A and B are shown apart, each in its own frame.
Chain A
Amino acid sequence: MIPVSGQALAAARKPLWKMRHSWSWWSIPSLLLLWMLLATQFPSYILPQVWDVAGEGLDWLRSGEIWPHAIASLLEEVGGFGAAIIVSVICGFLAGFYRPFREYLVPINGLFMAIPPIAWAPLMLIIFGIGYTTIVIVIFISAVNPMILTIMEGVLQIQGQEVRAARALGARRWQLFVYVYLPASLPFITAALRIGFSQAWRALVAAEMIGASQGLGWMVSTGGEIGNSRQVLLGIVLIGTFSYLFERLLFRQIEKRYEVWRLT
């Protein structure tokens, strides 16, 4: 779909041994080291050691207890974020193309952006009760608004010159969309996905802490309630890891496809 040839991509890639040494390799290990040092100063039930938390994780894995929580969180994320992708792409493009719709949408968008999404959680709890629906709706609200805004502004930025060139080359309405607007919008659609995903993930954890009976956020909050700091830290590590994996495995990969041509 993305019409950048393999050769052009390969030319932009450097072999491993020519890559600059990156200090980023030190950031996570140094943080772990700090944790270990701090943990020596506290009793284990307050601040457990790294390996204690790892052990806790193994226990959860072995008993299989971890899966319902991880899966619940992922399903909620998929539901809320997925719906937000569909709605924001449609609304973002419409708002980018049609001024009346844009004028109508922008204030609504601004209103929702001004309210921290988690503030909707209690209302959703009253309406839908504890469970999937409540959390998905909170996630959706938190992700969809910044995504619409990002896509709309991206569409507005697509250069009229490229569209003119395509029209002069015979591109009709739908061809313009497929061959110009779509590839030209890839960079900011990825940006929107990124923003949306992280907003949704934050909202998910927060919402689970308020109104859920399972999930990673629930692990953290119940861990806190029963004074199990290992469980709390395990939850935090998992939340961070999932987020990191999505970033690396999904968004980074999409971005690589166009970073060669993005105007420098």
Chain B
Amino acid sequence: MQTAESSGGSDLVIRDLHYSYDGNLPIFTGLDLQVQAGEFLAIIGPSGCGKSTLLNLLSGFASPERGRVQLRDRVIRPEDPGLGYVFQRPNLFPWLTAIENVEFGLRMSGMPAAQRRQRALHYFQLVGLAGFENYLTTRLSGGMQQRVSLARALALEPALLLMDEPFSALDAITRETMNDELLRIWDTLGQTVIFITHEIEEAIYLADRIVVLARPPAGIYRSHGNELPRPRSSQTTKTSPLFWEYKKRLIGDIAAVMRQQPVDDAELVEMGLSVATDHA
């Protein structure tokens, strides 16, 4: 079985994952998930279903109670140079300037100053922040801070990129540009990306596969392959019939997930669903 998996090019393996916070309500009871090398996976699910927790387990910040999380047969540590993590909040270092924040990881790995400034500048410009290099991060807007945080993770050129609702603080227009940038970067670097989002359209636009997570401790509700052709662009992709087909399916899935337990309407609205969705 082990060999069959490896020959399939399987990269990230989650097997029989069990986790709960301090022995309270279990979050995961036997979650299984495999992610191919270079795959772009989106995870979508209601608030509080354990998406951030899953990333914590994937990155090694938390350890599973049972089961295993492995990248090419190795346990992942947060410090691994091959791992990039964009948190739900920017978490920048306020005592450093914006560009120094982007350089941080390269500095930790001992890259010479000139080289690392060059690399940092590249990703700084890539996220559209040129001109703000020497700003202290407390002087940047929330969306700009989140972009610094993205550039900071990208600068290390990690093979596995974990992103926890990275663009949820951005306005719709910036968000769209960031999505396109992310796809372009992914095209050139070919990382494995695990992307958590609340936005159905964002998930469909970006991912190769979309996993719908149910409320704890149910785990994965369903997994959708995404056959939309690449390269994708807002104009062609988001207007194609297939896009709308996926969207319909996902709305259905999420409504079903929400129905598993009583929820308030506000939460449905947050998911981009109308309150009219049937509640039975």
A positions within 8 Å CB-CB of B: 2-5, 7-8, 159, 161-162, 164-172, 175, 179-180, 183-184, 186, 258, 260-264
A184–B95 CA distance with the chains assembled, in angstroms: 7
Return the 4 tightest CB-CB contacts between A and B, nearest first: A169-B105, A168-B85, A165-B91, A183-B95
Q: Do the beta carbons of B104 and A164 come within 8 Å of each other?
A: no
* B85 touching A3, Cβ below 8 Å: no
Q: How many residues of B contact A (CB 8 A)?
A: 33
A162 in contact with B93 given A168-B78, A170-B81 (CB within 8 Å): yes
Min CB gap B180→A, angstroms? 25
CB-defined contacts of A162 to chain B, threshold 8 Å? 91, 93
Q: How far is the CB of A147 from chain B (nearest CB, A)?
A: 22
Task: Count A/B pairs, Cβ under 8 Å.
Answer: 87
Bound CA–CA A172/B94 (angstroms): 20
Contact of B156 among A159, A169, A262 (CB under 8 A): A169
- Decide: A170 and B95 in contact? CB cutoff 8 A: no
Across the interface, which residues of A come within 8 angstroms of B108, CB to CB?
166, 169-172, 175, 179
Contacts A3-B95, A183-B93, A258-B95 given; does A171 touch B135 at CB 8 Å: no
Chain B residues near A261 (CB-CB < 8 A): 94-95, 136-138
Contacts A4-B136, A161-B87, A168-B85; is A186 near B152 (CB within 8 Å)? no
Which of A5, A164, A170 touches B87 (beta carbons < 8 Å)?
Answer: A164
A170→B138 contact, CB < 8 A: no
B93 touches A170 (CB 8 A): no
CB distance from B94 to the nearest CB of A (A): 5
Would you call A263 and B79 a contact (CB within 8 A)?
no
Question: Contact check: which of B83, B107, B134, B153 meets A7 at CB < 8 Å?
Answer: B134
Pair A263/B94 contact, Cβ less than 8 Å:
yes
Q: Of B61, B80, B96, B105, which one neighbours A3 at CB under 8 angstroms?
A: B96
